[in-house]
Amino acid sequence: MSLSPFTFAVAVVLVKSLGEDSGYLGDTITLKSGVNPAWNLSRIEWLIWPNRTWIVTYRQGKTNTERVNHFGQRLSLNTSSGDLTIRNLTKDDAMEYTVDLHNTDNEEKVNKINLTVRERLQKPTIQAASRSVKGKCLMVLDCSSTDNGVNHSWDVTPSSVYTTDRSSARLLAIFNSTQNSVNFTCTTTNNIDHARSVVTLKCDGDKIQPPTPESLNPQPRQKFAFPFLTGCLVGAFIVIIIYCFGGKKKTPPLK
């Protein structure tokens, strides 16, 4: 059985793993060849595994970056460094890449790198409802995300606004009805990315100004759950307000 030139080269040249690299769907990424900067490259061949298909080659001064239909015109090669650039990343680009490097001194080096392609987090959706009680604005905000396994956090300005736990998807806020607009920022995060949405709201009686599209057009699965939840939470808030702000009695002066 005869071996192709490349197969023979791989059999005798140590293949070094450069680890993993990752990019986001639709973005551009450059895969480093790991070449010795002192090398003067004479031949570069990028392959994908396990079928050992050449996707980019540089031979005898000529570059071919359109060897595979899957990549189309999305590839470019730096013939000085051997680095491979992939534009407009797709999920199917996630695989192992191998580069075979040769210099003018007939030295050879083979490196491999594993590429993962991730999707960016989507902006979360904020729903809001309010109620005015005893000059106070009670506001319930719900932050939802289409991404699974994300953490939620809230940032509220001004800082004088009283809020409940800011590290959950749901936020309860109390502030003066006459107060200027309040900024609510919901941020969703995972181990590698984050996304945020911001709403600026104020109370006008039992209405939110300006009305948020999310509160006017809730998602189907939230259409019934959110009003019920809001009613329960506002009821609890009323008790808190009466206790904290309306239940204080004046102490008669000492004689």
* pLDDT tens digits, one per residue of 148-195: 889 999 999 998 899 988 999 999 999 887 777 899 999 999 988 999
**3-state DSSP assignment of residue 118:** strand
Task: Give the pLDDT of residue 248.
Answer: 44
State the pLDDT at residue 1. Answer: 41
CB 125 within 8 A of CB 143: yes
DSSP reduced 3-state for 31: strand
pLDDT at residue 122, rounded to an integer: 93
Report the alpha-carbon distance of residue 197 to residue 101 in Å, rounded.
47
Domains and CATH numbers, the chain: 5-118 (2.60.40.10), 125-246 (2.60.40.10)
Report the distance separating Cα 113 and Cα 131, nearest Å.
Answer: 57
Output the pLDDT for position 133: 81
- In whole angstroms, how far apart are CA 3 and each of 6, 11, 99, 101, 130? 8, 10, 19, 19, 75
pLDDT at 132: 81
Q: Judging by beta carbons within 10 Å of its beta carbon (0-12, 13-18, 19+), is residue 148 exposed, middle or buried?
A: exposed
Q: What are the structure tokens assigned to 16, written together? A: 């070094």
**DSSP summary character for residue 244:** I
Give the amino acid at 219: Q
Query: What is the pTM assigned to this prediction?
Result: 0.64
pLDDT at 218: 42
List the chain residues with pLDDT less than 50. 1-11, 214-226, 228, 243, 245, 247-255
